[in-house]
Amino acid sequence: MDPTFKILIAGAGPAGMATSMVLSKNKIEHVLIDKETFPRDKICGDALSGKVVSELNKINTEYMKEVAGNPTDYTGSYGVRFYSPNGKMLDVPFSNNPDNLKHAPGFISPRIKFDNFLFSKANPEFAKISLNTAIEKIIRKDNKVIVILNKNGVFSEEEYDLVVGAEGDRSIVAKELLGDKKQHEHYCAGLRVYYENVSDSHPDKFIELHF
């Protein structure tokens, strides 16, 4: 990489952190911003799929060892149980040989825990980190991208060669550069609630989906 090639990652959630980890692994310098300060929470289903597990292993196998070795924050998940409206159910295991696995094929973890774990892996040698920093405006100009940043009420204008928009469904990068608009016919709201003292969970720690 040309050392003068400037990269900005907007958003330090799972997508932004995965990008930052891979860039750091390849010794590529970049700027990583997030509008919040960690640890911070986001509404989420809290499930880490097998795809998440495989991608983390590609980046660094030690990360999954940490996750699997922390049962307080991460509960192993071995399949899905589907319940239909008429009460019938179907079990779909993630593995046919769970006893041969080194760890669970999937996990459940509060988003605040997982995001903070990923953020703790940011490598300051290659990632210049700026929290409480939001994009106010972004403009494509010739072969560059001009970004107006707001850090605690202080505005600055910076120029980048590449901007990675990882700020979620309301991404300013996607809105300004790609013309993304909310598609009302495909838009819905989510409600997350945590319960205590839940009984009769699946004996093999399957996720339950009730329709």
pLDDT tens by residue, the chain, 211 residues: 677 899 999 999 999 999 999 999 999 999 999 999 999 998 888 999 989 999 999 999 999 999 999 999 999 999 999 999 999 999 999 988 888 888 999 999 999 999 999 999 999 999 999 999 999 999 999 999 999 999 999 999 999 999 999 998 889 999 998 888 888 898 888 888 999 999 988 988 899 999 9
Q: Residue 127's domain is classified under what CATH number?
A: 3.50.50.60
Q: Is residue 211 part of a domain?
A: no
Spatial separation of the C-alpha atoms in residues 50 and 60, rounded to whole Å: 15
Cα–chain-centroid distance for residue 192? 17
Give the 3-state secondary structure of residue 162: strand
Q: Is residue 80 part of a domain?
A: no
Q: Is residue 199 part of a domain?
A: no
Q: Is residue 147 part of a domain?
A: yes
Spatial separation of the C-alpha atoms in residues 123 and 199, rounded to whole Å: 42
Cα–chain-centroid distance for residue 159? 26
Q: Is residue 68 part of a domain?
A: no
Spatial separation of the C-alpha atoms in residues 154 and 95, rounded to whole Å: 51
Across the chain, how many H-helices and E-strands are there? 5, 13
- Statement: the pTM of the whole predicted model exceeds 0.75: yes
Residue 156 lies in domain: 1-42+117-180
Q: Is residue 88 part of a domain?
A: no
The number of domains in the chain is: 1
Q: Is residue 85 part of a domain?
A: no
